[in-house]
Amino acid sequence: MTDTHEGRSQEPVVIIGTGLAGYTVARELRKLDSTVPIVLLTQDDGAFYSKPMLSNALAMKKEAHALASFDATAMAAQLRAEIRVHRQVERILPAEHGVVVDGEPLRYSKLVLATGADVRRLNVEGDAQILSINDLNDYTRFRDALTGCQSVAILGAGLIGCEFANDLIAAGFAVLLIDPAPTPLARLLPPSAGEVFANALSGSGVSLYLGRSVSRAERQPKGYRLTLSGGEQIHADLLVSAVGLVPRTALAAQAGLKIEHGIWTDAACRTSVEDIYALGDCAALQGKLQPYVLPIMHAARALARTLSGEPTKVAFPVMPVTVKTPAAPAVVVSPDAAGEWSLEPVAAAGTYAARAVCHHADDGRAIGFALVGAAIEGKAALLKEMAPGMSRVAAADTPAR
């Protein structure tokens, strides 16, 4: 590959990944620039689907194909872009402004990494098959595996584990939810609110095994026998792991990009290497992972402006995370500074309700909250209270070039 700056500007913007991050940045860029050539590369089939629906589609009886709103051909027409499906990018060659796909080089003017994350694999002794659900193919396998099952054990009571527990209970399965932490959603909810959330989940029929992990899982004539830390044995027909995600950084690391939790970027989604950008589950904006829909949408809009020639830092408003557990609704804004949580009284308390607010350690202003059950009614007022001065601009210490 030969390289000149002039020649480069005629090369396409290449985006690796057709998940929410890749497709949203392509859509936003196309709005700003009707002519720039865009090529999207993906190792999957390029169908556009709502990933958050994977954990609440079962009770709605939705099959995988019903979650995909457009196939790659329709997306290519909408975006006026080229989409190459079932293509795995093998290498990035930053010095040559190129990537290698199926052994063939492809040049870029700008490269966007939107490669998502892999599921974290649990190291459990025994011969059990443990499913995890992170894309449409996983969801198809999960639905097939449920045939003939009555009970499902979910390993991990974080956001995704709790949502699957809720969905499976609503779909008529017995659910066993296991986590080493003493309360569910331990990374999102302070323990006081976590206890109320746990009671609400139990009230809906989920069997909670908290403060315990699975040390062994063995196949039985039907289903699996699980041995928990402490020696207790339980049985489930199907095992699902929901113990978190690991950003896909291998391609970036191999090309010498800085990795810090994920693919490191500055406040404007620029990686440590010129003309390469990253966003979504693979990226750590200023070293911080934010693997949720709203931060991705905000990052995609800012990145599209940067790609179209107007360097733009990502500015986040306050972004609540809503846990899709109708049996125990919860909404959380995680504090981004040191503070102290306090449990406050709830005016219109239902059977299960908790309102916890986190106040800044120095000036006492509200910097986060966790609302469970009937207390979620207080969300709008709390967001309003937090709004002034709370635009979480990726910090001002990295000026946009």
Residues lying near ligand FAD in the complex (CB under 6 A) are found at 16-22, 41-44, 51-52, 54-55, 88-89, 114-116, 133-134, 160, 248, 251, 280-281, 291-294, 296, 324
Closest separation between CB of residue 53 and ligand FAD, Å? 8
Closer Cβ to ligand FAD, 251 or 346, answer by number: 251
Residue 298: name the closest of 310, 313, 283, 277 by CA: 313
Closest separation between CB of residue 240 and ligand FAD, Å? 11
Closer Cβ to ligand FAD, 160 or 236, answer by number: 160
Closest separation between CB of residue 207 and ligand FAD, Å? 21
Closer Cβ to ligand FAD, 28 or 281, answer by number: 281
The Cα–Cα gap between 140 and 182 comes to 32
Closest separation between CB of residue 43 and ligand FAD, Å? 4
The Cα–Cα gap between 239 and 145 comes to 10
Task: Look at residue 160 and give its three-state secondary structure.
Answer: helix
Closest separation between CB of residue 92 and ligand FAD, Å? 10
Closer Cβ to ligand FAD, 54 or 214, answer by number: 54
> Quick count: other Cβ atoms within 10 Å of Cβ 349?
13
Closest separation between CB of residue 344 and ligand FAD, Å? 25
Phi-psi sector, 64: left (phi>0), alpha (psi -120 to 50), beta: alpha
Closest separation between CB of residue 233 and ligand FAD, Å? 28
Closer Cβ to ligand FAD, 134 or 334, answer by number: 134
Closer Cβ to ligand FAD, 55 or 166, answer by number: 55
Closest separation between CB of residue 289 and ligand FAD, Å? 10
Which tokens go with 52?
Answer: 């958050």
Please name the helix (run of DSSP H) or strand (run of DSSP E) that holds residue 302, with its range, or none.
helix 293-307
Closer Cβ to ligand FAD, 197 or 223, answer by number: 197
Closer Cβ to ligand FAD, 160 or 382, answer by number: 160
Largest CA distance in the chain: 69
What burial letters (b/e) apply to 256-286, b meaning 16+ CB within 10 Å? ebebeebbbbbbbbbbbbebbbbbbbbbbbe
The Cα–Cα gap between 110 and 215 comes to 47
Residue number closest to ligand FAD, CB atom:
19
> Quick count: other Cβ atoms within 10 Å of Cβ 401?
9
Angle at 10 between CA 4 and CA 11, to 5 degrees: 85
